[in-house]
Amino acid sequence: MTRLARDFRAHWNDPARWTVGVRVALTVALFAYVVRHGRNTPVWEEWYDLDGLYGVTSSLDWVFGRLNQHRYVLGRGVMYGVFHATAGDFRAGLVVSVALLSAATAVLLRTLRQLRGRPHGIDVVVPLLVMNPGASENLLLGYQLHFTINVLLIAVFVRCVAFADVWPPRATAWRVGVLTALLALGGWVGLAFVPGATAWVALLVCRGRWRDAPALALPLCACVFFAWSYAELQRNPMPGEVPNDGPTMVRVVGEFFSMALGNLGPRWWPVSGVLVVGFTAILVATQLAALGTSPGRRAVAVGGLAVVLALALMAYGTGKARPVGFAVRNVPLLAFLPILGVIHCVKFVGPVGRRTELAGTAAALGLASIVHYWGWADGEKAGRFHHTKFDMFAADRDAGLPLEFLVSRHQMFPCSQVLTGTRLLRSRGHPFARDIPDAPAYRVQPLTVPSPAPSAVPGDPAAEWVVGVPPVWRVALPSRCLVAGVRVTFRYPRACVRMPIQLVWQRPDGTTGVSVCAPWLTPNDWTLDFWIDEELGEFWLRPLDEADAFEVLSVEALLPKP
């Protein structure tokens, strides 16, 4: 009995079992998360990818093409292979992302264990931060494997930093050179590593022998690609991009760094931003102080500075053009700051007292646990919203709603590719769109657009959802007749927002009919098709928020052809 108790305590107190157990448990939990919330449908920018994935346009041009400011050459290549290996299942990217995050965690845990020669309880922080479900975009959007590939590559990069004073300079230089080339193919997240990584390889080559200079070939090619990509982005900026002013940029940069605390970043703002920026400043100061020590430590410090510089470049790009910096996709990326802090403590600080070590470990694990808890809370909310949105689409699809009205009612992304992409998916027999019928033939009858007024809506089926007193357009038909649908063209001037818009009518029996579209609006002229398929003589049109009033340009009744 005593021996059993002793063995139990030994197993219980073994940090290696805890770290591996937490990683395995979170891997299983994240797989369950994507199975529960993921749907076999394109999401967000994947609507732009359909032509390339299905070969409607050149797949090679698509792989090397630009998406917003990114060129995801490596990610799109993997995405193409995974998509066709799974017969066009968009959920495959979600599974790959979980596997990549788990692999990155395994690399980091192995690095920390080998660095000390033993496991440590503080290592549990790594899976808690890197495999945080609060980064829900990486777990619900298949194309985010572009991002999670970079997370794995950066984990290997950080491993090179940790052992730069142990491995021969030549070996480290070649490893980092290959990693730099791969990262350069991963969009601007990877490109941000190119300047610092190239400088690091140059230092390693100088520290070794000049016959190792060929190790600089790949990083220098990546630098040329970095310069070309930046110049190309300046010539062809993102549509509607307006640089932020100085104060806004500082705020957004702080918000970006605050995501090192996961979903606590927005909750604790601005304290979270001050804490993380302060921690980063201490980390940089430690690295700079190590530059004047031994060549081995100098190599470690320069590698660490390359990581911080890359994150700073990402923060600069975000602060320059984005309205906010609280992007949950960046949570595993910014987790490398505290992980780098642990590595530098082992390298540069040395042993500390037992009580200090226990207090530091308890504080780190406590904070990481809180971050992870709120990650699950927010991740579950995002997951439920995600799958509910597509389940509502599926319900209308299964009820037989025609294609044009279905896409108009459930605007999946603010781009014209949603309609053409849905037609493409239907033509390829994809389950998402396989059985959607086309709209019936109809003739268009223009209607007079009255002036808007905050008038009452009969029955007011959405009274509890209305915010403020939005304007209402009461539109009359020349006579009561069968209407297949109503087409509304309007101008929306404000920033991107998803806003339900109602079309309401009263039936002869006194009940209220409702057709709702939920467009994802950007500043533009928009056309929505409301499905009716009933007799009516007048109807009411309104947004559900007075702050999002828009200018109605035209209203047309879509009447069945005789």
Type of residue at 441: A
Q: Which two tokens stand for residue 508?
A: 């002869």
- Categorize the per-residue pLDDT at 326 as very low, low, confident or very high, splitting at 50, 70 and 90: confident
Cα separation, 153 vs 150, in Å, equals 5
Find which of 150-154, 351-355, 382-386 is predicted with most confidence, using mean pLDDT. 150-154
- Categorize the per-residue pLDDT at 3 as very low, low, confident or very high, splitting at 50, 70 and 90: low
Determine the pLDDT at residue 1. Answer: 45
Q: Which residue has the tokens 């990262």?
A: 183
Does 165 score more than 80 pLDDT?
A: yes
Q: What b/e readout covers 310-333, taking b as 16+ CB neighbours within 10 angstroms? A: bbbbbbebbbebbeebbbbbbbbb
> Which residue spans of the chain are classified as CATH 2.60.120?
442-560
Phi-psi region of 458 (alpha: psi -120 to 50; beta: other; left: phi over 0): beta
> Is 442-560 assigned to CATH 1.10.357?
no
Indicate the burial class of 399 (C-beta count within 10 angstroms; 0-12, 13-18, 19 or more).
exposed
Does 292 score more than 70 pLDDT?
A: yes
Determine the pLDDT at residue 213. Answer: 77
Query: To 5 degrees, how large is the angle CA 325–CA 50–CA 234?
Result: 45
Determine the pLDDT at residue 401. Answer: 80
Determine the pLDDT at residue 455. Answer: 66
Closest by alpha carbon to 345, among 367, 363, 360?
A: 360
Cα separation, 452 vs 406, in Å, equals 27
Mean pLDDT for all residues in the chain? 83
Determine the pLDDT at residue 96. Answer: 92
Q: Find the Cα–Cα–Cα–Cα dihedral 280, 285, 291, 293, rounded to 10°.
A: -120
Mean pLDDT, rounded, for 457-484: 75
Indicate the burial class of 83 (C-beta count within 10 angstroms; 0-12, 13-18, 19 or more).
buried
Determine the pLDDT at residue 548. Answer: 59
- Categorize the per-residue pLDDT at 307 as very low, low, confident or very high, splitting at 50, 70 and 90: very high
Residues 256, 331: contact at Cβ < 8 Å? no
Neighbouring CB atoms inside 10 A of 519's CB total 20
- Categorize the per-residue pLDDT at 5 as very low, low, confident or very high, splitting at 50, 70 and 90: very low
Of 101-105, 107-111, 140-144, 547-551, minimum mean pLDDT range: 547-551
DSSP letter for 519, please.
-
Cα separation, 470 vs 480, in Å, equals 27
- Categorize the per-residue pLDDT at 547 as very low, low, confident or very high, splitting at 50, 70 and 90: low
Does 254 score more than 50 pLDDT?
A: yes
Q: Which two tokens stand for residue 396?
A: 């209308």
Q: What is the pLDDT of residues 419-458, one digit of tens each?
A: 888 888 888 888 888 888 887 888 888 888 888 776 666 6
Mapped onto helix, strand or coil, the DSSP state of residue 533 is: strand
DSSP string, 181-225: HHHHTSHHHHHTTHHHHHHHHHHHHHHS-GGGGGGGHHHHHHHHH
Q: Find the Cα–Cα–Cα–Cα dihedral 371, 373, 376, 379, rounded to 10°.
A: -40
Determine the pLDDT at residue 9. Answer: 45
Residues 101, 130: contact at Cβ < 8 Å? yes
Residues of the chain with pLDDT > 90, as a percent, come to: 14
Q: Which two tokens stand for residue 472?
A: 């209402």
Strand order in the sheet with 473-492: 442-447, 551-560, 473-492, 524-543, 501-506, 512-517
Q: Which two tokens stand for residue 390?
A: 């597509």
Pairing of strands 551-560, 442-447: antiparallel
Determine the pLDDT at residue 15. Answer: 67
Closest by alpha carbon to 451, among 478, 477, 470, 472?
A: 472
Mean pLDDT, rounded, for 130-156: 90
H/E element holding 527? Answer: strand 524-543
- Categorize the per-residue pLDDT at 8 as very low, low, confident or very high, splitting at 50, 70 and 90: very low
Mapped onto helix, strand or coil, the DSSP state of residue 9 is: helix
Determine the pLDDT at residue 195. Answer: 92
Does 365 score more than 90 pLDDT?
A: no
Mean pLDDT, rounded, for 199-227: 81
Q: Where do the DSSP E strands lie in 280-345?
A: none
Tell me the whole-structure pTM to 2 decimals.
Answer: 0.86
